[in-house]
Structure 1
Amino acid sequence: MAAVDTHVIVVGAGPVGLMLAGELRLGGADVIVLEQRDAPTTESRASTLHARTMELLDQRGLLDTLGTPPHVPMGHFGGLPLDLRLDSPYPGQWKVPQTRTEELLGVWAQDLGALLRRRHRVRALTQYADRVEVEAFGPQGPVRLSARYVVGCDGEQSAVRELAGFGFPGTSAERELIRADVSGIDIPDRRFQRLEKGLAIAARGGGGITRVMVHVFGRAALQRTVEPEFAELAEAWRTVTGEDITAGVPVWVNSFGDVSRQTTRYRDRRVLLAGDAAHQQMPIGGQALNLGLQDAANLGWKLAAVVLGRAPEKLLDSYHEERHAVGRAVLSNIRAQARLLLGGPEVEPLRSVLGELIAYEDVRRHLAGMISGLGIRYGFGHSHPVSGTRLPYAELTVGTETTTTFALLRGARAVLLVLTPERGVGEALRRTIAPWTGEVDTVTATAPDTGPLADPAAVLVRPDGYVAWAGADAQGLRAALGRWFGNGGAHARHGTRHTTTHDLHHSRRETMGDLIGKTALVTGASRGMGRATAERLAREGALVAVHYATGKDAAEEVVAGIEKDGGRAFAVQAELGVPGDVHELFLGLEQGLKERTGSTELNIVVNNAGVMGGVKPEDTTPEQFDRLVAVNAKAPFFIIQRALPNMPDGGRIINISSGLTRFANPDEIAYAMTKGAVEMLALHFAKHLGPRNITVNSVAPGITRNSNPLFGIPEAVEQMAALSAFNRVGEPQDVADVVAFLASDDARWITGAFIDASGGTLLG
C-alpha cells in the first residue's frame, strides 16, 4: 500500500468533526482535521443537547468538564408541549451553546492527539484503491495530503460531498424562520406563540441577550445567498407581534427553512459523510446537532478498527445501514414538525388532534424517544429485549468497587459485561471470548435486581454503547463477536498511538458475512431452493423474510433453524397469484422489518416462488395457464414494483428462472413460457434500475432435488444425473450459493444476466 500522511482526514472542525476525531484517536487511528475557518465559531446556532448525546459524553468522561448545564425537562413536537423525560440519568434537554460544545470537543480531541489545521479549504479530492488524496489551500498556499479514508463533516454546503459526487436528493425550503440573538430589547418571552399573522418565539438568555425567531404565515422562503439583515427580521417581528425591536443590537442574524435532504449513501469507497454533510434538515428542537454527534460516535470506532486492520472493510457498511435509517427517521419527524409549526390556520385541526394524542403515555414516550435519541434500536439482532438498544444506565458492583455502565466505556473499547451468578455460564462465555480479548474487555459485575439488566446472563457492548448481544448462549455471542470484531486473535490490540502504515492491511471478509445489516425477502422459502437460499443469506448476515403460501409449520421450522445458527429471520404469509397477493405480502413484510430494524428498508429480493405445470400442451386448460402466469410471472413483476420504494440504491433482485427456457420439454411449455417472462423481467428491469446501482439477474436451475417422490427412486435419479456434466442431480444449496453471490457486493458488475445453474445440463 502507498504511504499516507495519516490514517483519516476529517474535513470540518465543528462539533461533529471534533467528536469524530476524538473517537478515532481513542481507537488508535491518526487523524488530521482540516478546517477552513481561522478560529472556532462565535455563533451558538444550536443550543440543545438531548439525553442520548449527554449519555455519550458521559461514556467518554466529558461531563465533569462540561459541568451541569441548565436542564429543561419539557420540549416540544411542532410547537406542542412534550415532556421529554425518559429512563435516563439525563432526561429532557440540556442547554449548552454550540460554542461551548465545540470548545469542549476541540480540547478533548487535541489532547488525545488529533492534529487540527485551520485556514485549510479543501478544493480537490481523488480516490484510489488504497488511499484518498486531498488538495487544500492553506495559509502558505496549496497543500496535498493523503489518507486511508476521508470523512466530510463540513456541513450543509459540504465540499467533500460535492467533490466526491454524492447524490443529495430532497426538497428545498418552502418556509423559513428568521432568527437572531439581540441585545438591548425588552419583550415578553414567547414559546412557539402562534398569532394571527405568524409564529413568534422569544427567550431571554444570559448577558442581556434575547433570541428571537419569527415566521410570517404564507411567506415563502427566499433562495438566499447571504444571511438576512436585522431590518428584515424586525419588519417580520412587527408584522406578527406588533412590537418594535429596531432599537436592538443584533449579535448575529440568520435564517433557516424547512429544507429536507439526505445523501443517498453515507459511504462511497474511501470517503464517508457525517452530520449535516450527510443530511440537511430544519433545526427544530435541536435534533440536527445531536444527530450529527451520534453519527460520529457510530462511525469512529468502526473506522479506527478498519484502518488499523482489526476489522474488515465490510464493517464500514454498517455505518451507512444504521445511521442512514436513523437520519431518514429524524428527517421525517422534522418535516412533520415543520408542517405543524409553520403551517397557517389550515393545520390547527391537526395540531388539536395531535395535542390530544400526546396526552397518552405511549404516544408521549414514542415521540420523546424519537427526539431524544433514546428510542434508537439498531436492527442487528433481537436475541434479548436490550439487543440493538443503547446500554441502559445502571450502577454496578465490580468486586468491592462501585461503578456505572457508562463508566465502562471510557476508553471506547467493547465490553462483555458478565452479570450471571452462575459460575458455569460465566466461564463458558469467558472461554468463548478468549480469541477476542485484544478487542473486548470482560467485566464481571452485579447489577440491580430490577431493570433491563436484571435478566440477561451477559451483554456484549460495542464501543459506541449499543448492545450487540445479550443472553447466555455462547454460540450467539461468538456470532456477534465475529460480526463486529472480525476474526478473533487475527490482530493484536494497537495502542492509542500508531504512526506506521505498513500494518494497515485489510481482510476482505474474515468472519463477517457479506450481507451484514442487509434485509432480504425470499419468496417460496419454506422448502427446497427457497429454504436453502434463505438459510444461506442468513448465514451471510442478512435478516431474511421467509415467505410461504400454506406451509406455516415448514416456514417456522426454517426460521427456528436460522435463529439456532445465530441468524435472523421471520416468516411472512401470502398466497401468490390471487388478487391482493403482493399487498398482503408487503403488509406482513414491512411489519416484520419495522419491528426488527426500525425501518422498512429492503435490500434483496429473491423471486423464487413458482408452480410447475406438468401437463401436456393439448391438456392445458385456460385456468391452469392463468395460474402459471399469475404465480410465475405476474407476481414477480409486481413484487419488484412494490419493493422498489423500499429498496435503497445498490439493492439486489434475483429471479429464479429455469433451464427449461433453454432445454425443451413438451410437458412444460406453459411453465417454460412463464420462466421466459421472468428472464425478460431481469433484462429490462436491469436497464431501468442501472442508474440506481440495483442489479437484476436470472438464475436458471436444472434438475434439482426437491420433495418430488421421483428423487426417492435410485434408477430415476441416476437417469437424471446423467444429464449433468457432473453426473449428479443438483442440490438446493448449489443454487442458493449462486443466489448468495449475486446478492453480494462481489456481483456489483453483473446485471441483466442469465446465470446457468444447471450443472452443465444445458451444455448438450
Structure 2
Amino acid sequence: MPSTSTPPTDTDVVIVGAGPVGLLLAGDLRTHGVRTTVLERLGAPMTESRASTLHARTMTVLEERGIRERLGELPDGGPGHFGGIRLDLTAADPGHRYAGQWKCPQTRLEAVLQERALELGARLRRGLRVVSLTDRDGHVLVEAVREDGERVRVTGAFVVGCDGGDSTVRRLAGFDFAGRAATREMLRADVAGIDVPARRFERHPDGLAVAHRWPDGSTRVMVHVFGADPKERTGPPAFDEVVTAWAKVTGEDIGHGTARWLNAFDDTSRQATRYRKGRVLLAGDAAHVQMPVGGQALNLGLQDAAELGGRLAERVRSPDRDDLLDGYDLVRRPVGAHTLDNIRAQSLLLLGGPEVEQLRDVFGELLGLAPVRRHLARMISGLGRPRSAAAPHDSPATTATTAPTTTTATTATTDRSSTMGRLTDRTALVTGSSRGIGRATAQRLAREGALVIVHYASDQAAADETVALIERDGGRAFPVRARLGAPGDVHELFLGVEQGLKERTGETRLDILVNNAGATTPAGLAPEDVTPEEFDRLFAVNAKAPFFIVQRALPLLSDGGRIINISSGLTRFASPDQVAYAMTKGAIEQLSLHFARHLAPRGITVNSVAPGITDNGSAVFDIPEAVEQMAQLSAFKRVGKAGDVADVVTFLATDEARWITGSFVDASGGTLLG
C-alpha cells in the first residue's frame, strides 16, 4: 500500500471501463490486496456480444487465474483464418492445451470477470461518465457525472483507462494517438427471421459476405461492399443500410428479418505512443484501436491487463519502483504494434477488391508451407514474439524510456533476434545473470518466449539493466537477489523466485534452470597460495550452491524440464593457477551426470556446458594485445562472445534437445582440440 507520506486517497487504483479488460485488471489487483474502484459509464452490462473468440495465450491467462473453469464448457472456434484465407491455428503449437481458438460470448466473459472482481473486493460504480482527470501531489483526482447531473469525485494513486477505442481517459490525459484513419468499413447485424446460407468470408464480385447461425436461431451477417468509403458515424447503421449492402453483394433480400443488434467497424489503426503518462496508464482498446479481425482485439486487451496487474500492484506497494510501470510499456507496446501491423495486412487481404486477388493467391500458396502456417498461427494466437520495442510504423519513433547502454558482450547477443518463440509459456531461472554469459543467456531465453528470473548477488543496477534489456526486446523478466555461498542462500533465492512467479503466472512452476553463477580465483595464483578460506568459498559458490539449488528446484520443475550447469574448459586441460576453480567445475560435471540419470524418469534433461575464454566485459578484454594472445587458443582464432555460449545453452533448453542428457558440451570454440 502507499507509504504514510503519500496523500490519502479513496482508492489505490481507479479503473475507468467495466469491459473485459478493466474487470480482469480489477480482479488481478484485488488478488494483491490493492484497493480498486471501477467506474463505468453504462448503468448495466451490455447485452450484445461484440467479440467472442479467445486464443491460446488468453486461455492460459484465464486458466492461471481460475477463470477458465468458471466459464464452463467452451466450444471449439474452428480453424481460424488470416485475412479470410483458412489458417488452422493449432499449427501455432499442436501440443498446447488450448491450441486453436475458442468461442465465448463477451456477455458471458464479462459476467464471470465481474463476479470474480466483486468477490475479491473490487468496488464497481456504474452510471458514471468521467469528465476530468487531475494529476496532483501523488494522486489523481477523477471527476465523473451521473445521468442526473450530479458530480462525483474519486481520488486514487493511479488511474487506468480501459474505456475502449474512444477513450475519455486517453483524451483527458493528453496521450498521443498515432496511426491511420479508416479506409474500409464492414457492417454487421444479428438478424432474426431470415434463412440464408452459412458463409465464411465469401467473396463476390461486389463485396464480401459472412453469415453464421447462432444457437438461438438468429443469424449474424457481416457485409462489405468493395470500394465503399467508410461513413462518419455517431451510432450504429440503420438496418436498411445493411439490407441494401447485403442485397448488392449476395443478391439476397433479408429486409423481412428483425435486427436485434446493429454495428459497423472499420480498419482504423491507431496506437498510443506510450502506455503510461505519470500516474495514468492505458490498456486494451484505450491504448490501441484496430479492426477486429479474427478476434485479436479482445485477446490483445486481456493480455495487456494480465501484464499490468502484477506490475501495478507492486508499484502501489513500492513507491520508488516506477520502472515496473515503464516496463509495462516496454513489454506491451511492441506487442500491440506488431499486432496492428498483422491486422492491417489481414484487412487488405480481407476487404480489398479484385486488385488483391493475385496477392491472396500468393498468400494461399505460402500457407501451404508448414513454417509459414506456424509463424502466422503463433502471431495470431499470442504465442509469438514481437519484432522489437520500436514504436508503431505510423507513429513517431519514440519510446517511453531510454534503454541502457549495452556492453560488447551484450551487443553480440542482441544482434541475433529470434521470433521462433520456442520457449513460450515457460519459465527460466538463470543464476548470475546480471552480466556476461548469464546476461546473454537470460536475454536469449527471453527472446524465445520464456519468463526469465534474473538472479544477482549484489549489483542491483546491473540486474535491473538485464531486465530492462529483455523488456526492451519485448520479453519478460524480473530480478531476484541472493548471495550464494552464504548461510540461507538457497532459501533466500527461492523465496524470491516463488513470489515472483506466483505474482506473474499464478503458480510457481519452473521449466528451465541454468546454474551459471560462479566465483573465480585471480589469474596467476599459484596452488600453494590458495588459502582454506578461499578454497571453501569457491566450493560454496560453485559446487555446494548449484547442488542445493537443483535439490530445492525439483518440486517446482515441470516434467520435461531442463537443467543446464555451466562448467569450464579448465576441467579438460591443465592450468595450475586455476586448480581449485577447476575442481569446483569438475564437481558441476558430476552433478550433471548423476542427476541426469536420477531425473530421466521425469523427462528432465541435465547437461553441462563448458565455455572457454569468453569476453564477459572484464577490463582485460579492452587490451588488444591480451585479446589477440587469448584468441590464439581457439581453433577459430578469436575470443568467444557471451552470445556464443548463450546460444548453446538455449538450444539445450528447447524441445529440440530432448534426447540429450548427462552430456558435456564443449562450447570453447575448439580450445580443447589442442
Distance 1:259 1:40 in 2: 26
1:560 aligned partner: 642
Alignment of 1:115 with 2:208, yes or no, is no
Letter aligned with residue 230 of structure 1: F
2:555 is aligned, of 444, 467, 491, to: 444
Report the identity percentage: 49
Q: Following superposition of structure 1 onto structure 2, how do residues 157-236 of structure 1 map, counting pairs within 5 Å?
A: 157-236=166-245
Cα deviation, 1:576-635, whole Å, max 9, x if unaligned, reads xxxxxxxxxxxxxxxxxxxxxxxxxxxxxxxxxxxxxxxxxxxxxxxxxxxxxxxxxxxx
Closer, same or farther: CA 50–382 of 1 in aligned 2, 3 Å: farther
Q: Give the 3 Å change call, closer, same or farther, for CA 443–8 of structure 1 in structure 2.
A: farther
Query: 2:545 maps to what in 1?
Result: 428
1:119-173 deviation digits (Å, cap 9, x = unpaired): 1111000112411111111367111111111000000110000000001111111
Is 2:476 the partner of 1:417? no
Q: 1:444 to 1:179 in 2, by over 3 A?
A: same
Separation (CA, whole Å) in 2 of partners of 1:338 and 1:101: 26
Instruction: Name the counterpart of 1:23.
Output: 28
Give 2:215's aligned amino acid.
G
State yes or no: 1:387 paired with 2:443: no
Distance in 2 (CA, whole Å) between partners of 1:91 and 1:283 is 20
SS in structure 2 at match of 1:113: coil
Is 2:92 the counterpart of 1:92?
A: no
Matches within 5 A, 1:461-500: none
Are the aligned partners of 1:26 and 1:411 in contact in 2 as well (CA < 8 Å)?
Answer: no
CA distance 1:562–1:110, change in 2 (3 Å)? farther
1:134 aligns to what SS in structure 2? strand
Matching residue's letter, 2:69:
D
Label 1:155 to 1:556 Cα distance change in 2 as closer, same or farther (>3 A): farther
How many Å separate the matches in 1 of 2:299 and 2:440? 26
Amino acid at match of 2:46: T
Determine whether 1:254 maps to 2:263: yes
| Partner Cα separation in structure 2 for residue 180 and residue 556 of structure 1 | 66
Deviations 1:228-286 (A, max 9, x none): 00110010000000000001111110100010000111000100000000000000000
Conserved? CA contact 2:509–2:557, under 8 Å: no
Per-residue deviation, 1:224: 1.4
**Which SS does the other structure have where 2:34 is aligned?**
coil
Q: Give the whole-Å Cα distance in 1 for the aligned partners of 2:239 and 2:643.
A: 66
Change (3 A) 1:126 1:560: same
C-alpha distance in structure 1 between counterparts of 2:637 and 2:124, whole Å: 56
Q: How do residues 190-339 of structure 1 correspond to structure 2 at under 5 angstroms? A: 190-309=199-318, 312-339=321-348
Matched AA of 1:288? A
Counterpart position of 1:54: 59
TM-score with structure 2 setting the length: 0.62
**Does the C-alpha gap of structure 1 residues 247 and 429 become closer, same or farther in structure 2, counting only changes over 3 Å?**
farther
1:78 aligns with 2:83: yes
Q: Which amino acid aligns with 1:260?
A: S
Unaligned stretches of 5+ in structure 2?
1-5, 390-413, 415-438, 453-497, 516-539, 567-584, 586-616, 624-633, 647-674
Mapped to 2, the partners of 1:417 and 1:390 lie a distance apart of 10
SS at match of 2:54: strand
Pair 181,391 (structure 1): closer, same or farther in 2 beyond 3 Å? farther
Contact kept? 1:374, 1:390, Cα under 8 Å: no
Query: 1:425 deviation in Å?
Result: 8.8
Quote the residue 1:749 is aligned against.
Answer: none
Residues 47-72 of structure 1: CA deviation (Å, up to 9, x unaligned): 10111100101111112211121103
Question: Structure 2 vs 1, CA of residues 248 and 426 (structure 1 numbering), >3 Å: closer, same or farther?
Answer: farther
**Other-structure match for 2:71:** 66
- CA apart distance, 1:372: 0.6
The answer to whether the 8 A contact 2:80-2:294 is kept is yes
Give the whole-Å Cα distance in 2 for the aligned partners of 1:217 and 1:561. 50
Take 1:285 and 1:353, find their aligned partners in 2: how far apart are those partners? 20
* Cα distance change on mapping 1:351 and 1:36 into 2, 3 Å: same
Change beyond 3 A, Cα 1:135–1:356: same
- Partner Cα distance (2:279, 2:622) in 1: 36
TM-score (norm 1): 0.55
Note the C-alpha offset of 1:415: 3.4
Q: Look up the equivalent residue of 1:325 and give its one-letter code.
A: P
| Equivalent position amino acid for 2:77 in 1 | V
- Secondary structure of 1:447's partner? strand
- 2:133 aligned counterpart, secondary structure: strand
Which aligned pairs between 1:538-553 and structure 2 lie closer than 5 A? none
In structure 1, the residue matched to 2:613 is: none
1:706-735 Cα shifts (integer Å, max 9, x gaps): xxxxxxxxxxxxxxxxxxxxxxxxxxxxxx
Relative distance call for 1:123 and 1:310 in structure 2 (3 A) is closer
8 Å contact from structure 1 (residues 73, 91) kept in 2: no
Cα distance change of structure 1 residues 527 and 246 upon mapping to structure 2, 3 Å threshold:
same
Over the aligned positions, Cα root-mean-square deviation in angstroms equals 3.8
Question: Cα 1:74–1:457, aligned 2, differ >3 Å: closer, same or farther?
Answer: farther
**Partners of 2:328 and 2:22 in 1: CA distance:** 16
User: Can you list the C-alpha shifts for 1:82-102, whole angstroms capped at 9, x where unaligned?
Assistant: 010023101111111111111
Letter in 2 for 1:295: D
CA displacement at 1:37 relative to structure 2: 0.3
Q: Residues of 1 paired with 2:308 and 2:77: CA distance?
A: 29
> Could you tell me which amino acid in structure 2 is paired with residue 447 of structure 1?
S
What is the one-letter code of the residue matched to 2:344?
Answer: R
**Which consecutive unaligned segments of at least 5 residues does structure 1 have?**
393-404, 434-440, 459-472, 474-525, 533-552, 565-764
Residues 418 and 443 in structure 1, CA contact (< 8 A), matched pair in contact too: no
Deviation readout 1:423-442 (Å, 9 max, x if unpaired):
99997369889xxxxxxx97
Q: State the Cα distance separating 1:203 from its structure 2 match.
A: 0.6
Counterpart contact for 2:514–2:564, Cα < 8 Å: no
The 1:427–1:197 alpha-carbon spacing in structure 2 relative to 1, beyond 3 Å, is farther
Within 2, Cα distance between the matches of 1:558 and 1:131? 50
Choose from 138, 148, 151 the match for 1:130.
Answer: 138
Equivalent-residue separation in structure 2 for 1:411 and 1:337 (angstroms): 32
Cα distance in 2 for residues equivalent to 1:201 and 1:315: 43
Indicate conservation of the 8 Å contact 1:258/1:281, yes or no.
yes
Aligned to 2:182, the other structure's residue is in SS state coil
8 Å Cα contact 1:60/1:409 also seen in 2:
no
**1:558 and 1:36, CA in 2 relative to 1: closer, same or farther beyond 3 A?**
farther
The answer on whether the counterparts of 2:509 and 2:556 sit within 8 Å (CA) in structure 1 is no
Tell me by how many angstroms 1:223 deviates.
Answer: 1.5
The secondary structure found in structure 2 opposite 1:206 is coil
Secondary structure at the counterpart of residue 297 of structure 1: helix
Whole-angstrom CA distance in 2 between matches of 1:146 and 1:265 = 23
Name the aligned partner's letter for residue 240 of structure 2: A
Distance in 1, Cα, partners of 2:323 & 2:557 = 35
Q: Is the 8 A contact 1:415 1:443 kept in 2?
A: no
Alignment correspondent of 1:360: 369
